[in-house]
Structure 1
Amino acid sequence: MTSIDVRNLTKEYAGRPPKRAVDGLTFSVEPGRVTGFLGPNGAGKSTTMRLVLGLDRPTSGTATVGGRPYTALDEPLRTVGALLDAQAAHGSRTARNHLRALAASHRIPDRRVDEVLAGTGLAGAARRRVRTFSLGMRQRLGIAAALLGDPAVLLLDEPANGLDPEGIVWIRELLRGLAAEGRTVLVSSHLMNETALFADHLVVLGRGRLLADVPMREFIDAHSHARVRVRTGDPVRLRATLLAKGWAVGDAPDEAGRWVVEGASAEEIGAVTAREGIPVFELADERASLEQAYLALTSEEAEHSAAASRPRSSALEV
């Protein structure tokens, strides 16, 4: 197995008082699916990734890949590919030479360098110096480095940062494809709408603690309130019927002419309208988006949050 296993992981940094960045974390990242790693700034996501990769030492607990610490892997690049910092490549090297240096350290043939350059869209820029790259190109180079050893495990921190729309679609398809091949994929991101399109499972942190470790659909359902939108040719009769059945219905339809019914499912509303002979043109359950569910869970966990702004008073106001 090539799962990432975190057990009772804690990391404290010296200070008065000490700063606990990771607080007793326990979770596993399984192969064959993309796991989204979410949390506000300061939640401990990057620290956890660094602990998994042996870049920091835990205060207590363990983090292993395939049952072994990263530092015990013989050729780690062939087991784990990681992108934590797109700026890590030496600016004076060409993209190809940067990857060739990494390949040589793990006895990876040069042909693999050319394969990952082509696969990440950088073949045409292979002989350019890294310092001339845009942020998006540096991200692609970092992903190429992560893929270099054809690893079974991928850890990527904000891989879509700096990518253009085409690049965002590309990274989404890449992540899904890697998981479909049976690899273990852990992706940290602040882009909720994008995460909803590529992740199968979620691990959510807040102030260093585990808040959720659940499948994507289950997470959204847990933070959704049952609600239905329905559009009809007989709005007055529809509203009266639904109110008589005890459902909460808005005072007026939305801008598209749909009534919002609280605490109901589309199946229930459909059964009632069919029985009463009320014509229905549109009927759909409304669920929370990943962003809404995430904010509902983490609203009290953000380390830095802005106060709601108040409109500035007019100079003529008395």
Structure 2
Amino acid sequence: MLTFPPDPYDDSDNDDDLEHDHQNKRILISPEVFIKGTVCGCSMNVFLCSDNRYTSGYGYFLHDPINKESFKLPSLEVKEECLHAIGFTCDPYYCNDPKEDSRRNYLDPRKCFRVVRINSFIAIHYEFEVDVWSSETGNWRQKTVILDDGFAFAPHWSMSFAYEGGLYFMGRTSIFVYDPYGLNGETLDYPVDSDPMNIMSFGFLGTSCGDLRIAEIRHNYIKVWELGSNDWELLHHVDFSGLLPNEFCADYYKRVGGFHPHEGETVYLYSFNEGIYVANLETIKFTYIPGYQKSDLSPFHLELPLWSSKDFF
């Protein structure tokens, strides 16, 4: 079962954990940040957090819950109050000279972290600025992105999904894919027969069996696509009317809770009022998991156990 990281305030091992190391910019982090929505991203067991709301555009820091270490990123000027889209990823193979990086005060010098911040906009932009923080330099840099087809963020979507070194930002009519290492971006269309607004509100973008997948859920069915070499391919289209309780089907706020990382047929369905169901989309079987009603899942589903559909069917 995936659980919240160890309590960084637990000083049973080392009293020095309670001290601030201003020279190395190490700060303490309360477990509450994982509950109050200030987690902005997770990659290679390191979290990107903010001591403000992540949409504020400042106050970012990296946190390693295993080693109980945090590193504060340098401040980035906020010219105006607006929402910000945030991306975070790590490439453990990108660094060419680990010895060179080991002289810097970062959480893990063998891994190259990137943080991306974009001023969110809901009107289509064909050119916009992207701020990128690099763990190798410790500094922010700004790059201009030009897109022939343009892009517009969804008003309620502010975090990206990291996959194979790229950051995927959900938009109103397409997905913006940014490479924080090559410093370039492009757009990816939603599946042709999908409803992008429904996906952004109640669907899910993630991976299963190493492949990128996207799902949408409606009143009585769920669809799952996988990104092939050229386009999205429909894997599942399951009508669950009569197979799930009417209360769950009628819940406007039900959504796809996630994909199982190793079982492509297993998908989690979630409703704040009704709880969690494990779905096997090949055998069309659904199993209710008691005890999760009125439980609000975090943005990264940290507390979602990895139930296997094989455990029930």
More helix by share: 1
TM-score, normalised relative to structure 2: 0.29
TM-score by length of 1: 0.29
> Radius of gyration: which is bigger?
1
Give 1 or 2: higher strand fraction. Answer: 2
